[in-house]
């Protein structure tokens, strides 16, 4: 079931984010992610529209959209990766927003391939100064029917 994040669920969301982001980005120091926790908790998530995937009364993934157009986070707990939950979260926000963009590390090939399968296309290359790694800016646009 997909539903909006509730204010009292921030600790659970951060737990998923931290474990998942460390696992997805082994090329970046774990310390960077631990140091980023405060800004994710206190700035990015509160400024975003966030939906969670609930499985058997437990949050197992989430997606956050900033400014009605930028996917700032899409994470699923490791045991649930590949079970369609990330795709369901993505489909949910694609029903709400007519266009979306995101930034993904080029070395995170699993995520790049996932986003391609969801209809996202690479628009440009960028550089993440804090982590010193290249990223892709990817975008998706709802198809207009005649």
- pLDDT digit string, tens, across residues 44-91: 999 999 999 999 999 999 999 999 999 999 999 999 999 999 999 999
- Binning pLDDT at 50, 70 and 90, where does residue 145 land? low
pLDDT at 108 over 80: yes
pLDDT at 140 over 90: yes
Strand partners, 125: 136
What CATH number is given for 2-141 in this structure? Answer: 3.40.630.30
Task: Return the axis-axis angle of helices 30-39 and 10-24, rounded to nearest 10°.
Answer: 150
pTM confidence score:
0.94
- As a whole number of angstroms, the distance between CA 38 and CA 19 comes to 15
pLDDT, residue 53, reads 98
């Amino acid at each position: 079931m997909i539903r909006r994040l509730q204010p009292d669920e921030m600790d659970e969301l951060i737990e998923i984010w931290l474990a998942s982001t460390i696992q997805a980005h082994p090329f970046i120091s774990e310390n960077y992610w631990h140091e980023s926790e405060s800004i994710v908790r206190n700035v990015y998530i509160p400024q975003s529209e966030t939906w969670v995937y609930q499985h058997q009364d437990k949050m197992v993934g989430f997606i956050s959209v900033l400014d009605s157009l930028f996917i700032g986070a899409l994470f699923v707990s490791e045991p649930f990766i590949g079970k369609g939950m990330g795709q369901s979260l993505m489909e949910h926000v694609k029903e709400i927003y007519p266009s979306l963009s995101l930034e993904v590390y080029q070395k995170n090939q699993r995520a790049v391939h996932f986003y391609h399968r969801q209809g996202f296309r690479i628009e440009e290359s960028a550089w993440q100064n804090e982590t010193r790694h290249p990223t892709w800016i990817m975008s998706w646009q709802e198809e207009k029917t005649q």
